[in-house]
Amino acid sequence: MENATIVDKPSQSSYPSQLKATLSDGKLLGMSTTSVHGGEARQKPNDAITDSICCSSTFTFESTQSILDYIHEKQDREEYGRYGNPNEKVVERKLAAMDVAEDAILYSSGMAAIVGLLMAKLNSGDEIVFFDQCYHRSREFCSKHMARFGVITHQVKTGDFAAMEAAINDRTKMIVSESPTNPHLTVIDLEQFVALGKAHQVETLIDATLATPYNVRPIEYGVDYVWHSATKYMGGHNDLLAGVICGSKEKLEDVRKLRGILGGINSPHNMYLLERGLKTFALRMERHNQNGQRIAEFLERHPRIERVYYPGLKSHPSHSIAKQTMKGFGGLITFLVRDADWKQTAAVIDACKIPRIAPSLGGVESLIEQPLVMSYFDYSPEDRLRFGIYDNMIRMSCGIEDTEDLIADLQQALEV
Ligand SMILES: *Cc1c(COP(=O)(O)O)cnc(C)c1O
C-alpha cells in the first residue's frame, strides 16, 4: 500500500522541502524502517533530525485570505489545537504506515479512542456484538454507558462465530473483538471475522493492542477499524498514555470531526515521547516475543504451574490460528499456580524481584499482577468465573530484560 512508504505526503505546509519519492516503489518497507522513518518529513524546521516539540494552542493566519483558503481546503495547515497539532500528525502518519492503514487518529488514551469511535458510529437503536473476553473497561463503556444512549450490546463467547452470527440482526452496526484477548490470549480467526462482517454488512473492529502491527496487521485481512492502546507496546516505556484508531480515510472522516469536538487529543510533549518510543518499536517487539515464548515454555514445564495461556504454546487452543497469522505472540503471559488460593498466588507475585507489581503491559519493564485483585476485585465470584478470572491466576507482561534473568527470578519466586 502506498502509505507504508517512508514519506507519505506530510501535510504540514510549514515543512518546506519534503521527499516526495518513495524508497520502495510501493513495496512495503520493513517494520523497523517504517517505525523509524514512517510519516516523517525528510527535511524539518531548523534542519533538525527529530520533530521539535511545537507548543501552540492556536495557529496564526497571515491574512483573511489565508483563512478563506484554509476553509476551502486549498491550504493544508493547522488551525486550533483541539483539531490536532504537528507533533500528533507526524505520529498519526507513522502509525498508519505501520498498520498499512490509510489513516490513523490519535487520542489521549486507548479508552478515549474507543469512546471517540463508537460515539461517532453508533446511534440510538443500533446494536453491537462483542466477543466476551475483552478489556474490562471497553465492556463497561458499552454495557453501562452506550446503553444510556440507546445502544444495545450483546456479548457472546469468544471465538464462537455461530453465536456471534446468531446475535446479529438488522440493527447490528458493528462486531467487535480483541485479538489476542486479555488475559486469556485467545487469537481470533480474522478471515472468518471479516467474512462474517461482510456477509451481514456490519463493520468490524479489532482491539489489536496485544498483537501490535509487528505481529499482525488486521487491516490486511479487511478489518474496518483497528484499535490500539498506544500506552502499551507502541509507547513502550510505561511513561505515557495514548490511543489510536486506524482505518480508511473515508470511514474515519466523521470520527476525526467528532474528536475535534470531544477534544481528547494529545499534547505535543506526549507525542514527542510516543514518536521517540516508536523508533525502537520493532527491536522491542522482537525481545518481547522472545521473552514471552521462552518464559511461557519455562512456566509450562514448572511443577507448580497448573496452566499457561500463551498462543505460542502448542497447548493453547488458539495455537494453530496464531501460528498461521502472527509473526510472534507478544510479551503477555497468563498462568495459574497449582493448588493455590488467592493469598498463595499473591505470595508468588510478592516474591518476584525483577517484574514490578502494576497494571498495564507492553513496556520495557516487566510487570506482574493478579487479575482478581487488580481488575476484578469489585466483580461477584460468579461474574469472575463467567469471565474466566480465577483466584490463582497471574498475568505477567514480559519486558525487554534478559530472558535468563526473568526465568531465574520466576524460578526463585515459585520456590518461596
Ligand atoms: C490498556 C488497554 C486498553 C485501554 O487503553 P488505555 O490506553 O489504558 O486507555 C484497551 N484494550 C486493551 C487490550 C488494553 O490492554
Residue with the bigger pLDDT between 71 and 395: it is 395
118 C-alpha vs ligand 1 centroid, how far in Å?
Answer: 15
pTM of the predicted structure, to 2 decimals: 0.93
Amino acid at 313: L
- Our mutation pick for probing the ligand 1 site, out of 130, 184, 227, 232, counting the most ligand atoms within 8 A of Cβ, is 232
- Binned at pLDDT 50, 70 and 90, residue 357 comes out as very high
Q: What is the mean pLDDT of residues 356-378?
A: 96
What CA–CA distance (Å, rounded) separates 303 from 352? 18
CA quadruple 205, 108, 79, 38: dihedral positive or negative? negative
Residue located via cell numbers 487518529: 105
Residue with the bigger pLDDT between 136 and 220: it is 220
302 C-alpha vs ligand 1 centroid, how far in Å?
Answer: 30
Ligand 1, residue 362: give the atom nearest the CA. Answer: 15
Distances, alpha carbon 181 to alpha carbons 13, 131, 240, in Å: 41, 9, 22
Burial 148-162 (b: 16+ CB within 10 A, else e): eeebbbbbbebbebe
What CA–CA distance (Å, rounded) separates 236 from 397? 12
* Nearest residue (CA) to ligand 1, atom 2: 229
State yes or no: pLDDT of 19 exceeds 90: no
Distances, alpha carbon 70 to alpha carbons 12, 61, 81, in Å: 12, 9, 15
109 C-alpha vs ligand 1 centroid, how far in Å?
Answer: 8
State yes or no: pLDDT of 15 exceeds 60: no
Name the nearest CA neighbour of 35 among 264, 361, 297, 284: 284
Ligand 1, residue 134: give the atom nearest the CA. Answer: 13
Name the nearest CA neighbour of 38 among 96, 109, 123, 111: 96
The 10 Å Cβ neighbour count of residue 111 is 19
Tell me, rounded to whole angstroms, the distance of Cα 55 from its chain centroid. 27
Cell of 156: 457472546
What CA–CA distance (Å, rounded) separates 266 from 169? 37
- Binned at pLDDT 50, 70 and 90, residue 139 comes out as confident
Identify the three-state secondary structure at position 107: strand
Residues with C-beta less than 6 Å from any ligand 1 atom: 109-111, 135, 178, 182, 207, 209-210, 229, 231-232, 241, 243
* Nearest residue (CA) to ligand 1, atom 5: 110
What CA–CA distance (Å, rounded) separates 90 from 244? 13
- Our mutation pick for probing the ligand 1 site, out of 187, 227, 229, counting the most ligand atoms within 8 A of Cβ, is 229
Ligand 1, residue 181: give the atom nearest the CA. Answer: 13
State yes or no: pLDDT of 328 exceeds 80: yes
Residue-wise pLDDT for 34-88, tens only, equals: 999 999 999 999 999 999 999 999 999 999 999 999 999 777 899 999 999 999 9
The 10 Å Cβ neighbour count of residue 381 is 11
- Binned at pLDDT 50, 70 and 90, residue 25 comes out as low
243 C-alpha vs ligand 1 centroid, how far in Å?
Answer: 8
Angle CA 181–235–310, to nearest 5: 30
Amino acid at 177: S
4 C-alpha vs ligand 1 centroid, how far in Å?
Answer: 25
151 C-alpha vs ligand 1 centroid, how far in Å?
Answer: 22
Amino acid at 366: S
Name the nearest CA neighbour of 99 among 194, 211, 188: 211
354 C-alpha vs ligand 1 centroid, how far in Å?
Answer: 23
- Binned at pLDDT 50, 70 and 90, residue 3 comes out as very low
What CA–CA distance (Å, rounded) separates 54 from 266? 12
Question: What is the average pLDDT value for the chain, to the nearest integer?
Answer: 93
* Nearest residue (CA) to ligand 1, atom 4: 110
What CA–CA distance (Å, rounded) separates 247 from 174? 14
Identify the three-state secondary structure at position 308: strand
- Binned at pLDDT 50, 70 and 90, residue 150 comes out as very high
What CA–CA distance (Å, rounded) separates 38 from 9? 11
The 10 Å Cβ neighbour count of residue 25 is 7
State yes or no: pLDDT of 18 exceeds 50: no
* Nearest residue (CA) to ligand 1, atom 8: 110
Residue-wise pLDDT for 403-412, tens only, equals: 999 999 999 9
357 C-alpha vs ligand 1 centroid, how far in Å?
Answer: 17
Cell of 104: 490513523
Predicted confidence at residue 321, as pLDDT, reads 98
* Nearest residue (CA) to ligand 1, atom 6: 110
Residue-wise pLDDT for 221-233, tens only, equals: 999 999 999 999 9
- Strands 225-229 and 203-207: what pairing? parallel
Ligand 1, residue 360: give the atom nearest the CA. Answer: 1
State yes or no: pLDDT of 125 exceeds 70: yes
- Give the domains, in start order, of the chain with CATH numbers: 102-275 (3.40.640.10), 281-413 (3.90.1150.10)
199 C-alpha vs ligand 1 centroid, how far in Å?
Answer: 29
Ligand 1, residue 178: give the atom nearest the CA. Answer: 13
State yes or no: pLDDT of 279 exceeds 90: yes
Rounded to the nearest 5 percent, the helix, strand and coil shares of the chain are 40, 15, 45
- Binned at pLDDT 50, 70 and 90, residue 401 comes out as very high
- Helices 249-262 & 110-121, crossing angle to 10 degrees? 110
Q: How many CA atoms lie less than 13 Å away from 164 in the CB half-sphere?
A: 26
Q: What is the mean pLDDT of residues 260-272?
A: 97
- Strands 203-207 and 152-156: what pairing? unpaired
Report the C-alpha dihedral over residues 194, 260, 35, 402, rounded to 10 degrees. -90
Ligand 1, residue 111: give the atom nearest the CA. Answer: 9
Q: How many CA atoms lie less than 13 Å away from 149 in the CB half-sphere?
A: 14
CA quadruple 42, 46, 50, 51: dihedral positive or negative? negative
110 C-alpha vs ligand 1 centroid, how far in Å?
Answer: 5
Identify the three-state secondary structure at position 273: helix
Identify the three-state secondary structure at position 330: coil
Cell of 70: 484554509
